[in-house]
Chain A
Amino acid sequence: MSFTDTRTGYHRPEAPTGRGWGTAARVGLWAFLAISALFFAIPLFVMLSTSLKTAEEVRGGSVFALPTDPSLAAWGKAWGSACIGRVCEGISNGLWNSVKILVPSTILSVAIAAINGYALSLWRVPYAGLLLAGLLLGAFIPFQVMIYPLVRMFAQVGIYGSLTGVVVVHVLFGLPILTLIFTNFYRSLPPELMKAARVDGAGFFRIFRRIVLPMSANVIIVAVILSFTGVWNDYLLALIFAGRDNLPMTVQLNSLVGTRIGLPEYNVNMAATLIAALPPLILYLISGQYFVRGVTAGAVKG
């Protein structure tokens, strides 16, 4: 039995179907998969169940015990009234800050990366190879080495410690890898399409808007997910560049967990962490199939 992948057109050789495998090997395989699944699922389960318990219950029982009387009180406190330092407003404010950083960063970096990738792959750009090599380098250099110079530069321009500053940093650090993804994807488009559009008299942006963009849904979803995840999970850049008024959820979460007044409220911490993790999780659930499709389209055909 074999089949041809309808999306990529590549013929896959026969996949191992288990025939000829020893039963022991199969048991081992299943055991490994089960253990791996548990390894990732148990912490999530502990967090969820702990967040539904009361503080007394957390201190009294085992971490694996189910909550006797599930309640969302910890979630409510984490959201609106938990104390971070001396301010007791929960992490809702941080969530809002995260969104304010996330939305412009993602839109800008994906839009610029799409245009960059389109220009680099479908138009004759002088030294395009060199530019791509530079991008590749940019994508793999640890960004920590650039932080101090960037702080100085941003301070000079006057956007250090502001929403603008942190958005600019996110766009800058997101561009190399996103541009590479778009470049790879657009390289797989038939070149005759571009020629036809040029004969038809369409210019750079008209071809992009009318022909290339409508074909880019999958790769845009991939880019949005990558950018979303990167920006949402970022801690260091926001801590340094955002300024005290714009600290995102990740930074506030850390402050919340680190605040030591009285006994640590594990249930509140767990609830806050789950709230912080929810948006990317929801995004994955919604767009998972496109993500896989887009990744393979870019990777295999590119």
Chain B
Amino acid sequence: MTRVSLQNIDRHYGALHALRDVSFEVEDGEFVVLLGPSGCGKSTLLSSIAGLDPLQGGQILFDDQDVSRLEPAQRNIGMVFQSYALYPSMKVRSNLSFGLESQRMSRAKIDERVGWAAQLLQIEPLLDRRPAALSGGQRQRVAIGRALVRDTDLFLFDEPLSNLDAKLRTEMRVEIKALHKRLGATFIYVTHDQVEAMTLATRIAVMNGGRLEQYDTPETVYERPASTFVASFIGAPPMNLLPARVVRGDGGAVAEVQGARLPIPSGIAAQVEGEVTLGVRCEALTVMPAGSGGPEAFTGSVVVTEPLGADTLVWVEVGEHRLCARIPPRDARSLPGEVALAPASGALSFFHPESGQRIPGEAEA
């Protein structure tokens, strides 16, 4: 069992501040996904956890033991790389056993571990081939196998699926999730693909510009993004964001935006003044005929509809903003040109207009 604790990790590459004071904890058996756009520092962070990249500040603990100064091999981890990085001159069997031989494990034990991993990943028929004779998916399995043979409870994955085609990626994703469940080990997984992050993670660490933006369960990251960055990075399409004006009246504060007046919960109202950024997910907007939504609805004209199969995205132009709403395909067929969009109660997120940080409501704070 391995708990990982990152404390104030800092890393510069010349003028580039790649990691800025990153801290979070990974519990036993968790599947943590580091998610962010390219260049956000997620791979650098993984390299630091693996010990491939020296730290310049902060420390890393595995089970309360400081490993910041240890070599990668001493940290006892299994790691899978984006390019697979299989040793080209060795057969699959030697690729798997290379690390164990380095540890001076006995031959019998090595054969046992390699056999176990090969069986688990169904690569037994490939053991006597060279990496060049394998397909992309097979190489991926071998790369995972090379990590698995290590007797460890911490596995690191650096964008392992991004070199696979879409179909294979979906298959491998399911397998990796099943593998995590079966091993009960701690997984830390880097990706820029939010679908991978949402489906695999027990917790997602969203990173941007070397900073940790949010570290929470996929549901929370999706429904209650910690910043406008997270709101627009997670979700396809991203969360609708609208600048609104705070107006205080008799019945409490309301956010005025494009003719709609949306009540601000009292816990949030105390923290805002003047301007606020409103966020609402596409599926939290109900589409109604124009004029029937009441004062809490936006009115606009339908620009385009995108049928996705299970549901349909409706893009509505409200003032100068374009909002998306997710509706059942049946309803989309009889859509009028002008519609009202009513947000579900409690589905609104509020962000500071300048910092983009979330303004927490009473239930969250």
Chain A residues engaging chain B, CB cutoff 8 angstroms: 190, 192-193, 195-203, 206, 210-211, 214-215
Known: A197-B98, A202-B98, A202-B102. 9 other contacts (CB 8 A): A192-B83, A193-B87, A195-B79, A196-B81, A196-B87, A199-B52, A199-B79, A211-B87, A214-B88
Cα(A197)–Cα(B103), bound, Å = 12
Query: Given A201-B73, A201-B103, does the pair A195, B98 have CB atoms closer than 8 Å?
Result: no
Q: Does B72 contact A (CB under 8 A)?
A: yes
Cα(A197)–Cα(B102), bound, Å = 10
Instruction: Return chain A residues, CB-CB under 8 Å to B179.
Output: none
Q: Give chain B nearest CB distance to A214 CB in angstroms.
A: 3
Cα(A60)–Cα(B89), bound, Å = 62
Instruction: Return chain B residues, CB-CB under 8 Å to A215.
Output: 88-89
With an 8 Å Cβ cutoff, the count of chain B residues facing the other chain is 23
Q: Does B112 contact A (CB under 8 A)?
A: no
**Are B99 and A201 touching (Cβ within 8 A)?**
yes
Q: Give chain A nearest CB distance to B136 CB in angstroms.
A: 15
Nearest 3 Cβ contacts at the A-B interface: A201-B73, A200-B99, A214-B89
Q: From residue 63 to 91 of chain B, which have CB atoms closer than 8 A to chain A?
A: 71-73, 77-79, 81-83, 85-90
Q: From residue 82 to 119 of chain B, which have CB atoms closer than 8 A to chain A?
A: 82-83, 85-90, 98-99, 102-103
Q: Does B4 contact A (CB under 8 A)?
A: no
Q: Which residue of B lies closest to A202 (CB)?
A: B102
Interface of A, secondary structure class, is helix
Cα(A7)–Cα(B20), bound, Å = 41
Interface of B, secondary structure class, is loop
**Are B81 and A195 touching (Cβ within 8 A)?**
yes
Query: Given A201-B103, A202-B102, A206-B102, does the pair A196, B79 have CB atoms closer than 8 Å?
Result: yes
Give the contacting residue for A210; candidates B78, B79, B98; CB below 8 A.
B98
Q: Give chain A nearest CB distance to B62 CB in angstroms.
A: 14
Instruction: Return chain B residues, CB-CB under 8 Å to A202.
Output: 73, 98-99, 102
Cα(A182)–Cα(B277), bound, Å = 57
Q: Which residue of A lies closest to B74 (CB)?
A: A201
Instruction: Return chain A residues, CB-CB under 8 Å to B224.
Output: none
Instruction: Return chain A residues, CB-CB under 8 Å to B50.
Output: 195, 199
**Are A198 and B89 touching (Cβ within 8 A)?**
no
**Are A195 and B83 touching (Cβ within 8 A)?**
no
Q: Does B139 contact A (CB under 8 A)?
A: no
Q: Give chain B nearest CB distance to A7 CB in angstroms.
A: 14
Instruction: Return chain B residues, CB-CB under 8 Å to A211.
Output: 87, 89-90
Cα(A201)–Cα(B52), bound, Å = 12
Cα(A201)–Cα(B105), bound, Å = 12
Interchain Cβ contacts under 8 Å between A and B, 15 examples: A192-B83, A195-B47, A195-B81, A196-B79, A199-B73, A199-B77, A200-B73, A200-B98, A201-B72, A201-B102, A202-B102, A210-B87, A210-B98, A211-B87, A211-B89
